[in-house]
Every structure is written in C-alpha cells, then in structure tokens.
Amino acid sequence: MLKDKLNYPEILKQIEQDIQNDFGKGKLADYIPALANINPNQFAIHITTTLGEEYSVGNVDTLFSIQSISKVYTFTLALKQLNDDIWQRVGKEPSGNRFNSLVQLEYENGIPRNPFINAGAIVISDIIFDGLGKTKNKVLQFVRGLSPNQTISFDEEVADSEREFGHRNRAMANLMKSFGNLKNDTNDVLDVYFHQCSIQMTVKDLSRSLIYLANGGKSLSNQEIINYRQAKRINALMLTCGLYDAVGDFAYRVGLPAKSGVGGGIVAIIPNKLVISVWSPELNQAGNSYIGTKALELFTTYASNSIF
Amino acid sequence: MLKDKLNYPEILKQIEQDIQNDFGKGKLADYIPALANINPNQFAIHITTTLGEEYSVGNVDTLFSIQSISKVYTFTLALKQLNDDIWQRVGKEPSGNRFNSLVQLEYENGIPRNPFINAGAIVISDIIFDGLGKTKNKVLQFVRGLSPNQTISFDEEVADSEREFGHRNRAMANLMKSFGNLKNDTNDVLDVYFHQCSIQMTVKDLSRSLIYLANGGKSLSNQEIINYRQAKRINALMLTCGLYDAVGDFAYRVGLPAKSGVGGGIVAIIPNKLVISVWSPELNQAGNSYIGTKALELFTTYASNSIF
Amino acid sequence: MLKDKLNYPEILKQIEQDIQNDFGKGKLADYIPALANINPNQFAIHITTTLGEEYSVGNVDTLFSIQSISKVYTFTLALKQLNDDIWQRVGKEPSGNRFNSLVQLEYENGIPRNPFINAGAIVISDIIFDGLGKTKNKVLQFVRGLSPNQTISFDEEVADSEREFGHRNRAMANLMKSFGNLKNDTNDVLDVYFHQCSIQMTVKDLSRSLIYLANGGKSLSNQEIINYRQAKRINALMLTCGLYDAVGDFAYRVGLPAKSGVGGGIVAIIPNKLVISVWSPELNQAGNSYIGTKALELFTTYASNSIF
Amino acid sequence: MLKDKLNYPEILKQIEQDIQNDFGKGKLADYIPALANINPNQFAIHITTTLGEEYSVGNVDTLFSIQSISKVYTFTLALKQLNDDIWQRVGKEPSGNRFNSLVQLEYENGIPRNPFINAGAIVISDIIFDGLGKTKNKVLQFVRGLSPNQTISFDEEVADSEREFGHRNRAMANLMKSFGNLKNDTNDVLDVYFHQCSIQMTVKDLSRSLIYLANGGKSLSNQEIINYRQAKRINALMLTCGLYDAVGDFAYRVGLPAKSGVGGGIVAIIPNKLVISVWSPELNQAGNSYIGTKALELFTTYASNSIF
C-alpha cells in the first residue's frame, strides 16, 4: 500500500510508471487537422502549491492547445465584470447532455446551461466583449499576466481550423442571437471564442496561472484576481460542470474541481492547497484526456487528497 | 343547405360574405417589419381549373409575399433534378413539431424531416444551387415562366429583412453544414432561400403557376413541367407536410393538399380539377392564414370537393 | 404498360405475381410470441366496393390479428359519442416520432398526438369505457355487427401476451393518468386496449366492416354508422396519422387513407369507391406490412386510383 | 463580520434568527395531501460531528417525512451488495432535467441518469430487493440500526398517498421494465419505493444515521458500514446529483455534498468533520427546502466550511 508514505515527487514518479501501458487506449481529437496530427505519446503533470512549491514530471515544456480550459479564464473575466448578474445570461447547472447539444439551448430559450459548455462560453465571450473592447488580445493579456509568461500566444493555425470547421458553434451562436442572448455580431464573438480555444501553453503555465482558484482568489504574488467567495464558486462550478458529460464520473473517480479541454489538458484544484495540471492528448469517450483522468485519479488516491 | 346547388362564382361570393366577421381574429406575422405593417383587412381567392376556366373574388390584383409557398417551386426544381435521389438529403415525413425546430434536426443528423419546413427548404436551395448555378434568378425565371408573368419579382425589402432577422435559419444552415448536409457556402445558400421567400405575386399568378399539380404535371399550354407520378407525389407531400404543425387539422377540416406561407397565402390542389389560391394576411396560431383556412374549409364544404 | 387495361380481378392476380419474390424481405413482429411464431409466407387481398362487389386473392379465409387497425373501430365509437369534443382529450396531428414514444406525451402534458398512436388509442379506450360500460365486449359487438360476422372474436392468447409484455403501454397509461387524461382505472382501460388489439378476422371481414368509410358513413345495407362529414374526417386522419412514422412515405407511394397493424394487416380507403384490405405478416422497418405496402402501391399504380 | 468568531451553537442561533423572515416564501409540497397539510412554520437543525459532539436548534424532536433522502440509505445498501457493478443498472451523471422526467429515460434505454432521481431510486429498490428479500422491512431495520433508534417507522398514510398518486413513478417503473432494467414485479418494487419515501424521523436521527459519510464509512461506534472509498464516492455523487435540478446552484451557494427531500429535509456532509441536517417544510421552485437551503448557505459562510 502506497498511501500515506509518498511525497509529491514520489507520487508523480509513481503515476508516470502506472500510466505507461495506457498510451493507445484513447483517441486524438479529430474534428480539426491541427489536433488530429499531434504525437499521441506525450504526458506531463505539473503541480503548483499555494506556498509556491512546484513539482512536475513528463513533457513539462511542451506547448499544447488548451481549448475548453480557456473557458475558466474568460468566465473569471466575466464574473469580475458582472458578478452575480452574469446568471441572467447563462445557467449554472450541469448540462446532462453531449457538450455541444443545441436541444437544451432551444428548449431553454437560448440560455445555455452553464459557462463551461460551448454555448455558454460563447455567451461569456459576448459579455466580456462588451466590457473589454478588443477582447481577443485582452484575454491573451490576462492569461499572460496570470502565469506570468509573456510568450503565451494563440496558435493561429488552430484558430483558423476552429473557424473553418466551426459550423456547430456558429449554429449555436445564431440560435442564441435569435433568442436575443448575444449582443454583438456573431462573427465578432466567434472570432474571440475560436482564438481563446487556440491558446497554447505548458502544464507549468496552466498550474501557475490558475493558482488563484486554490488560493482564495489571490495570485502567488498575493494580488487579488477575484475575491474569496468568487474563487470558491468557480471551484463549485468546475466540479458540477467542468467535465462535459462526465462530470459525475470524474467527481466519483477523482473528486476534485477541474476543467478539461479536447487538446488533452485537464487542470484540477485542491482548495487551499494546490493546482495540478495534466496533459496527454488521447481522449476517452467523454472527450476528456484518457491518461490525464487516470493520472488525477491515481493522484487523489496516492495523496488521499480528494475534497470528499 | 347550400351544397350541390351553387356554381363556383356563387360559392366564392358566399365565402366572401361568410368571412367578413373574421377580420381581426388572426394576427399579422411580426418577425419582420415588412410583414408586420401590411393592411390586415385584405382577402382574395382565385381558382384556375384544368380546363382553363378562372374564378376570383376580393383583392385579386394585390401582390403579397408568398414566403413558404415558394418551397413548392424549389422542390419541383429539385425533384426534376434528382428525382428520388432527393430523399438521401431530406425526409418526407411530417415534422410533428414547431416548423423551425432544431431539435429534430439534431437528433436526425442534419437530415430535415421534409422539404416544406425551413431546414428542408434550405437543403433544397443547396441542391438546386448545384444544378442551376446562379440560382436566385433561375428560381424567379421558373416562377415567371409558369404563371406566365414576367413582372413577378423579389421584394428586396423583405429579402433584406429575412436576412437581418434570419438568425434561426442561419443556425439551421450551419447545423446542417456541420453534419455535411449542405454542400455550398451557407451564406450563398441562404441568399437564395431568403430571396425565394420574398417573391411577391397575386393569387391569380399563384393558381396559374401551380396548375401542373392539378393537371398531371402539365401546364395549361400542355407543357410537361414534371411527370404524372411526380405531380401526384408532390400533392401527397403537401397533404402530409404542407401546413407546418397543423397538417392534421387542415386535412381534417379542409381535406386538400396545400401549402401555406406566413405572408397569408395558401394554395390548395384538387387533383384533376383545379388550383385554388387564397390570401388574407392575418394568421392563426399555427402560422397559417386564419381567414384563408376558413375560406378553404367553406369551399370544400360548399363544393363537396375534398379528396376524402 | 398495364395501366388502364386491367379490371380488378386481373389487377389482383398481377399483384399476387409481382410480390412472390418479396417474401423474406420483411420481419415478423417479435415483441410477443403469439405474433413471432406465425407462418410468414402468407398473403391476402380483399376488395369491397360501395356497390357491394367483392374481389380477392390469396389467403382470404385466414384469421389474423388486426392489432392497431382496431383503433379505427374504437375511434369511430368515440367520435359517435363525443363528436368534436373528442379533441380535448387527444390531438389530430402526425406524431413525427416512433409510434410508441413517451417523449412527446410528456412535453404535451399527457395529450397524445392523435388517436392512432398507442397512447391516443388508450385514451380512446378510456373515453368509450365511459360511454359504453363493459366496453371490451361492446367493441367486439360493434365489429361483429359491421362485418357482419358473429364469429369474430378476441384471440385470448394474444391478449394475454399483450398484457404480459405491455410494460410500455402501461407506462404511457400511467403517465397520462398522472396528467389527469385517463378517467378510469389504468388496468381496466388497458384490459380493453389489449383485447381490442387481439381481435382476429379475415381480410374479407376487414373490408366489409369498414365500407362505411368509403360510403359516406353508411354500411352496405345503407345504415348510417357515422355521418358523411365524420367519415370524410376519419379518412383525413388515417392519411395523416394512420401509418405510424411512415405516414409521409405511404402517402407518397400509395396515396390512400389507410391504417396498419403489426399483425401485418393494412386497410385502405378509396373514398366513394371501395375498401381494400391486405395482409402479409412480415413488416418493414416502420412496422407496416412489407408486402402489404408494396401491394397497395401496385394497386394504386395499376388502377390509377390514388386520391392525389 | 461574523466569520471566524462563532462556535457551532452561536452559529446555529444566528441562523435561526436570520431565517425568521423567510417563512412563507416557499411552498409546501402539494402532490399528496399528507404533505400539503403540514404546519409550514417549522424549522430545525442538527449537527453530529465525527467526534460525537451534537448541536441543534429548532423543532429537533419533530418527525418529518424524509422522502428522497431515503435514496441515500437504499443506495448505500445497493453499493454494499454490488459495488461498482451497480453502474450497469444506473448512471452517475447529473440529470440536467426535471427530477422525474421520462424523456431522458426513454432516450437512454431505461437506464436512469443516477440513483438519486426517482427512476434511479426505483432501480435501486429493485436491486436490493434481489439481495435482501423482504426489503421494505430490511430498509427500515438498516435505518433504525444506523441511528440507532428502534422507533423510526414508516408513515403508512404517506405511503398510501404515494401509491395512490404515484402514477408517474408507476409510468417510469413500467418504462424501465419494458427496457429490461427492472427484474422484479413493478408493484412489488414500487411498494418498497413508496414505503422508503414515507420513513419519518427527526433531524437528530438523520444526522446520526448518516455520520458514516463524514467518517470514512464508519459509524460513531466505529463499525464499518461501507469502506472509505465508497463513502468518498457517495459524497461525490451527492454533490453532483443530490439536489434534483438545482445541483449547480446548491454547489455554488452551499458547496457541500447533500441530499434533499420534498418533505423539506436536507442532509449535508462535511467530509471528516460532520453531518448537518436541516428541516423546514416549505420548498423552493427546484423542490428543495427554501429555508433549509438558506440555512446551509449561512452555515458554510459563518463556519467557512465549504469543501471548495
């Protein structure tokens, strides 16, 4: 029995061993060429604690496409801007459906179920568009400042692909527009959305930039990004809505607030302790990193660290 | 008891009397200003028989926006082009739902239920786009030739409104594109679709142009527009799918193949006998002309002429 | 080209030849053993005209389970009882869905889409239960009187099977009860429903019993079963709702008001002319007789007799 | 600012003051008379810590109907019996819909979304029926032993009402039976289900009986009810699925694993610390206790004790 004996470096090393036979069990995202052609045999974990300690293993310096994880950054910006008024534009309940379904959107009059499904994130882009003006770059600046790492950038090839194959997102944007829940021009809003999805960074950038969610709203340099209550609430929202249609399964197996992206990244929060980011590009059926999910499950088991 | 006694002119006169108290009971279409500002107190009927006789009453020379009735013309063009291969792109079953619902479209992988709902008509526009090239004007030429009336034209103000407020149609087009059921650029296809909806004509133009549906596929000048079998089948399709979500009610009350538009027009077919077109802009809850539906119900009662 | 040359006996003989290679292309109903074990290689057609002439071919004297065709008899009884008040309890629109779906029932507050889907027929059973008292036998007496054939009876083995495997029908009955749209005890109502489905008769009984639908509401002996208007309306309802989720396809191919059952029977009406009943137990994917549908399509082609 | 200053007795007293103006803002459950006639002006909180300390305020000794909270007990029994094999019969994802919807059940072939919606709990009753035989009393014995309180009993009047007005639950049971996901007779299974809903107890009984969820699976007397991992997982499931369609809102406002019932009870878990039970019969729109939810929100605020 490993539990209670290992420190973080030992745990990460152990996890790296445990997952070696799992390459090839998932499938690369294939809806855009830019993601379909990635080398699947990659894996990285990075931990940043609220005390500033850092631990990592694997391809720590490789850039990957954060995709839906970007929804955490834009939601943070929108929450700062509107606080609880944000809930007039988007819900906070799990979707109970495939992550990009139009059905629920139609039944619920253009109000997306939550900010972490595509439709919800598009509304969030529309909201911050109002508050920040030329948003695309404002989002990037926000992410760069949080990390802090001024080299974080869009992958324009991915952004182009998202636009070229983004018919379903365009369908949702137009449907919400028809219900009056999009204020700006759909093409302008989608340009922000497609770009935020294309942000590329490392697991290190990811853990560092989101440490405020584990740290009562404050960055490592003690700057208040959001307040204590807002941080707690984003964590709650990540737990109930952050993993597409595998929210329950992930809570059951891992037991941490988290947000995943189809680029193979997952970031998870242990409140008051740490942020742990994993990346491995092959996905399970729910669209979450196959190895990433397993690695986090092993982590909460070895570290006895789930919130439950 | 009027039945069996009246000839067509007498019947039309009687109907005109019967509906006088029904103005104000329906509601103008209000989704675009161009339709919302029409004088509601208008009414016209025109009959063209397969023998070339014509009968009319009311505002026979007033132009109105045919809207969804245009779907009969474009479907005819597509059927000529693809014959039964058309059913790989669109279904032929009643929708059982609001006429512009995305739900069914999503559950059925981007294949619209039938060619007479908006999504289906957009696919049809895409199909004829392939066959006819610069389609918008080809559709107009087809309609002009059928009538025959070279002055029939688009109402560009209506077409502009359709485009400006067409977010839901744009949502459907993009959703179908995401399923691979739209070959051409969505904006190009929608430009055809929005224009066909804006065609304006009189009840006389309408009856004359569609006489081939009552006449085994042939025009009054004996030109074969489509073959006998195709005409019979378009009639069947109109009966099961031509009246949005009031197909059953209309068959029950009127009992004729028909197609309606939110501009207040309805065209109905008595196979081997005649085409009857009615127009009155106020709509019932299902989006069909209130007075138009009633007028047709009175007509089949007075003339004992339903197909059942 | 056969058309215009053949009389009814010749047409029936021709159809019998044409369908010989189609045995084995459909599938027996398998939801209850009593239907799954039938000899599939059977086929019969019977025509009764409004003039009293009769024509037939195939296994004319074989009893088969009429199943959903019984919904025409019970709907006739309910329409006599309530006339247009019936529409407060059930709709008259095509279902646009699998024939036994609960989804639409839930969205529409326990009001079934039409009387010819299972849920609708269960409501109809509830209605006639109110009017006729001990209904099960009253339904049988009605059918016997129409044919007229006093030997028509329930197949108790089938009725037992229906009850034993009728969980989905029981689910629908309870759902409607929860919405207040079932007045009597669900078990009592379902007992009527399961029995009406089990009625067995021949194609001859079937054509004769429903001649009133082709004859303006009157039986061959000139007795008024329902009035002219009601007969016309049942025909309209059969055309838009009588073939499960293949209403549009059937109208397109055959072009007649009809009602089918999973026992392999289909009855079709040519208003003012005749009733034609076909039976062959193998079903197509929509749950309608494979050979029966083809036979009717051939009939309207050979006889040039569709209503369109 | 109260935070960090108050001990549990002070916090409970403060909450009792804070909620005094909230009586009358919710609505009693009205689907059965037995619940509709309760005195609405009642309120109680009880805390049991893993150290055995107890704190309470309000109507601590009043019995109330635990309703859906009973789903935690039966799920615990089923998990003991089948462990992870249980997930072949029921899902573990939030429902994203009204708590008793049949739609999702139909789309997902009779597999309920999770064990805490009605359909899921009925499957659970079916499962423990297999394992425990005469289940109704076995469930009661389990609850009595956990509390421990041998006077805990069914409220037969409530159980009768549940059965009398349980058409929708009966619809779901039959639908699942039709999909083969119910092994035993539906009436037998529903008898267990209706009885477990009718169990009546006090907030004290409730906190004490479920202390194993805060205590790594062990009762206060250190008996292992379930193992550490199972306890952690039930908590995860309560957080993602325990509050009907207000899961996200509750996580956002309160931030604790919890289960509610339409009798006005809510039990919440702070892992490794305590169980807190609240009761107040008026419900909010989501069907959860209005004052109960507010009281728990105040508690996690005053005690800084959410899991996020």
**In Å, how far from its chain's centre is CA B241?**
11
3-state SS class at D82: helix
A199-201 and C64-65 as β-strands: parallel, antiparallel, unpaired?
Answer: unpaired
| Residue D2, pLDDT above cutoff 50 | no
Give residue A272's region: left, alpha or beta (phi > 0; psi -120 to 50): left
DSSP D198-248: TEEE-HHHHHHHTGGGTTTTB-TT--BSS-HHHHHHHHHHHHHHTTGGGHH
Residues near D127 by Cβ (< 8 Å), separated by ≥ 6? Answer: D78, D81, D82, D86, D89
* CB spacing of D96 vs A96 below 8 angstroms: yes
Q: Are D66 and D200 in contact (CB under 8 A)?
A: yes
The Cα–Cα gap between C210 and C276 comes to 10
* Mean pLDDT score across all residues of chain C: 94
Q: Which of A12-16, C219-223, D218-222 has the highest mean pLDDT?
A: A12-16
Position with higher pLDDT, C105 vs A92? A92
Closest CA to B94 of C248, D279, A77: C248
A67: phi then psi, degrees, rounded to nearest 5? 50, -120
Instruction: Write down the mean pLDDT value for chain A.
Output: 94
For tokens 């009597």, name the residue. C184
- What's the pLDDT score for residue C197? 97
Q: What does the block give as tokens for B186?
A: 């969505």
Contacts of D91 in chain A (CB under 8 A): 248
B63: left (phi over 0), alpha (psi -120 to 50) or beta: beta
Please tell me the distance from the alpha carbon of residue B176 to that of residue C177, in angstroms, as a whole number. Answer: 39
Q: What one-letter code names the amino acid at A193?
A: Y
| Banded model confidence at residue D150, pLDDT cuts 50, 70, 90 | very high
Task: Give the best residue of A31, A175, A181 to mutate against chain B (max B CB count within 10 A).
Answer: A175
Please write the tens of the pLDDT for every residue from B65-106.
Answer: 999 999 999 999 999 999 999 999 999 999 866 545 787 888
Instruction: Give pLDDT, residue B1.
Output: 42
Q: Which of A97-111, B86-100, B238-252, C236-250 has the lowest mean pLDDT?
A: A97-111
Measure in Å the smallest separation between the Cα of C171 and chain D Cα atoms: 4
- In whole angstroms, what is the distance from residue D266 CA to residue D289 CA? 7
Which residues from chain C sit within 8 angstroms of residue B296, using beta carbons? none
The pLDDT value given to residue C5:
63
Residue A104 — pLDDT band, cuts 50, 70, 90? Answer: confident
From the list C103, C168, C178, the residue facing D167 with the nearest CB is C178
Q: Residue B98: what pLDDT?
A: 58
Q: Does D236 touch chain A (CB under 8 A)?
A: yes
Measured CA to CA, the distance from residue B298 to residue B254 in angstroms comes to 8
Sign of the dihedral through C-alpha A266, A271, A272, A273: negative
Q: How far apart are CA C165 and CA A92, in angstroms?
A: 41
Q: Name the percent of chain B lying above pLDDT 70.
A: 97
Give the pLDDT of residue B3: 46
pTM for the whole structure: 0.91
Average pLDDT over residues A21-33: 94
Structure tokens at B152: 């029939």
Whether residues C168 and D178 touch (CB distance < 8 A) is answered with: yes
Count the Cβ atoms, other than its own, within 10 Å of residue C132: 18
- Residue A2: what pLDDT? 45
Within 8 A of C103 by CB-CB distance, chain D residues are 102-103, 106-107
Neighbours of A85 (CB within 10 A): 11
Banded model confidence at residue A95, pLDDT cuts 50, 70, 90: confident
- b (16+ CB within 10 A) / e for A38-52: bebebbbbbbbbbee
> Does residue D245 contact residue D265 with C-beta atoms inside 8 Å?
no
Give residue C268's pLDDT: 98
**Cβ-based neighbours of A31, under 8 Å, separated by 6 or more:** A165, A262
Structure tokens at D124: 């659970």
Instruction: Write down the pLDDT at residue B34.
Output: 87
DSSP H or E segment with residue B227: none
If 0-12 CB within 10 Å is exposed, 13-18 middle and 19+ buried, where does residue A164 land? Answer: exposed
Residue B308 touches partner C, C-beta closer than 8 Å: yes
Contact yes or no for C251 and B245 at CB 8 A: no
For D95-120, write each residue's pLDDT tens digit. Answer: 866 545 787 888 889 999 999 999 99
Residue-wise over C18-50: b if at least 16 C-beta within 10 A, else e?
ebeeeeeebebbeebebbeebebebbbbbbbbb
C304 sits in which H/E element: none
Q: What's the burial of B305, exposed, middle or buried (CB within 10 Å: 0-12/13-18/19+)?
A: middle
d(CA C37, CA C229): 41
Percent of chain A with pLDDT over 70: 97
Q: What is the pLDDT of residue D144?
A: 97
- Of the candidates C244, C275, C280, C294, the residue annotated as catalytic is C244
Domain spanning B8-303: CATH superfamily: DD-peptidase/beta-lactamase superfamily (3.40.710.10)
C8-302 placed in CATH 3.40.50.2000:
no
How close D113 comes to chain A (CA, Å)? Answer: 9
Q: Is the ipTM of this complex over 0.90?
A: yes
Q: Does A100 touch chain D (CB under 8 A)?
A: no
